[in-house]
Amino acid sequence: MIHLFIDSMKQWINESISLIVMRLTLIISSLSSGGAERVMSVMANYWAKKGWQVTLLTFDDGHTAPFYPLDSRVSHLSLALAGDSSNSLTATGRNLARVRRLRSAIRRSRPDCVLSFMDQVNVLTLLATEGLRTPVIVVEQSWPPSQQLGRAWNQLRNWTYPRAFRVVGVTKSVLSHFSTRIQSRSCVIPNPVLSPTLVPDSSSQKLLDHPALLAIGRLDRNKGHDLLLKAFAGLNGRHSNWSLTILGEGPLREELESMCRRLKIEERVKLPGRVSDTSRFLREASIFVMASRSEGFPMALGEAMACGLPVIATNCPSGPAEMISDGVNGILVPSENVDALSSALDRLMTDAELRRALSLRAREVTERFGLDSIMQTWEALIEQAARA
C-alpha cells in the first residue's frame, strides 16, 4: 500500500509540474539561417505549443522574416540593436544603449526565466539583467576557440558568466574551454536531434543527381567545405558518376566556386544556397558528409543520422564524436586530413553493404538526443531556476 501511495504521489507531482505555465524570455541576435537560430526556434515553438508564455527577443530590425517558422503564439520582438561601430568609443556607447533597451524589454516580458544564446548576446543579457533577480541561463552553442571575440569581450564573458544561474554547453568539450569558476556553474544539454519529415514527395523532379553526396553548412572556413571539395576531386577517376551538393550560404561562395573550376569538378558539384527545409535533400542523398574544422553540436549531422543516412564526419573539436561511434553508426576521420576524408569517401561510395549497415544503426541517435528527452532536461533546469 505504501508503494502504491508513493507511486501515486509521484504521478501527481509530475502531472502538476506539467501543468505549470512558465513565462520564458528567449534572446538571440537574429533568426537568420544557422544552427543556433534553428535550435532556438524549435525550443520556442515547443514551449509555445505546450501553453507556456514565450517572448523571443532578437537584436535585428525585424525587416527580414525569421528563416525558420515560428509558432504564432510566440511573441517575437525585434529590438533593432544590431550594427557595427567605427571606433571603440562608439562601440561602448552603442553597447550601453543595447543594455538599456534590452533590460527594458526583459522587464516588460516579466519572465520566470531568461534563456540567452551565443557569446556576445549572453554577455549583454547578463549585464542587462544585473539586479533584476531574474534567473538567466546562457548557452554556448559553438566551440569557443573558433569564435574570435577579442580581448574585451573575452574579459566581459569571464566576468559575467559566473553571474548566470547556469552556463549550458552543448558538449563537455565546449565547457572545458572555460575557467573552473564558470564550469562550477555549468551543465551539458545537447541540442535535440529532429527526425526529418519523410513523407513521400508527390513531385517527380529530383533535387540531386544520383548517386549523391550531401553536405549542409554555412560557407565559411569552420565548415571545411574546401577540404571536402579536395577530397571529392581526388576520387575523380574512381567515382565519376557521383555528385556532391552543399547546402548553405556564406562569405566563401566565390572561393569555393573557383576551387570547383580549378579542380575540374564544377559539373558535379552544386551549391544551391540556403534551404529552410532540408528533408527532401536528405531523403534523396546516398551519403551525408561533414568536413568541419570545428562544431558545437551539429544538428545537420544528427538529422542526417535520424533520417537513416550513412554519415562521414571529421572528428573535430566538439560534436561528432558524441554522436558517432566510428564504424558502428558512422565513420569518423581526423580533422583537416584530406587524404583520410577521401579514403573514407572512397570506402563508403564503393561498399553498398557498409552503407546499409551504417544506415540501420544511424537512426539510434534519436534515442539519445530526441526532442522530448532533451526538452524535458531543459524544463527541469528552467523550473529549478524559477524556484531559486
Query: Angle formed by the axes of helices 119-128 and 151-160, to 10°?
Result: 50
In the numeric block, the cell 559575467 is attached to: 160
CATH class of segment(s) 21-192+370-387? alpha beta
How far is it, in rounded angstroms, from Cα 189 to Cα 244?
33
Model pLDDT, residue 245? 98
- Considering the four listed CATH numbers 3.40.50.300, 3.40.50.1820, 3.40.50.2000, 3.30.2350.10, the one that applies to the domain covering 212-368 is 3.40.50.2000
> What stretch(es) of the chain map to CATH 3.40.50.2000?
21-192+370-387, 212-368
In the numeric block, the cell 573535430 is attached to: 316
DSSP conformation class of 319: S
How far is it, in rounded angstroms, from Cα 47 to Cα 54?
7
Model pLDDT, residue 276? 81
Look up residue 376 and give its three cell numbers: 524535458
Model pLDDT, residue 93? 67
Sheet holding 331-333, edge to edge: 269-273, 243-247, 212-216, 287-290, 311-314, 331-333
Query: Angle formed by the axes of helices 119-128 and 88-109, to 10°?
Result: 60
Model pLDDT, residue 6? 47
List the pLDDT tens digit at each of the 388 positions of the chain.
444 444 554 454 455 545 578 999 999 999 988 889 999 999 999 999 999 999 999 998 888 889 989 999 999 999 988 765 545 545 666 778 889 999 999 999 999 999 999 989 999 999 999 999 999 999 999 877 777 778 888 899 999 999 999 999 999 999 998 999 999 999 999 999 987 765 555 556 788 888 999 999 999 999 999 999 999 999 988 899 999 999 999 999 999 999 999 999 999 999 999 998 888 899 999 999 999 999 989 999 999 999 999 999 999 988 899 999 999 999 999 999 999 999 999 999 999 999 999 999 999 999 999 999 999 999 999 999 998 7
Beta strands in 136-192 (DSSP E): 136-140, 166-169, 186-188
How far is it, in rounded angstroms, from Cα 377 to Cα 372?
9
Are β-strands 136-140 and 113-117 bridged in parallel, bridged antiparallel, or unpaired? parallel
Going by C-alpha positions, the residue among 258, 253, 254, 323 that lies closest to residue 290 is 323
* C-alpha dist (Å) from residue 365 to 158, 193, 306: 34, 8, 6
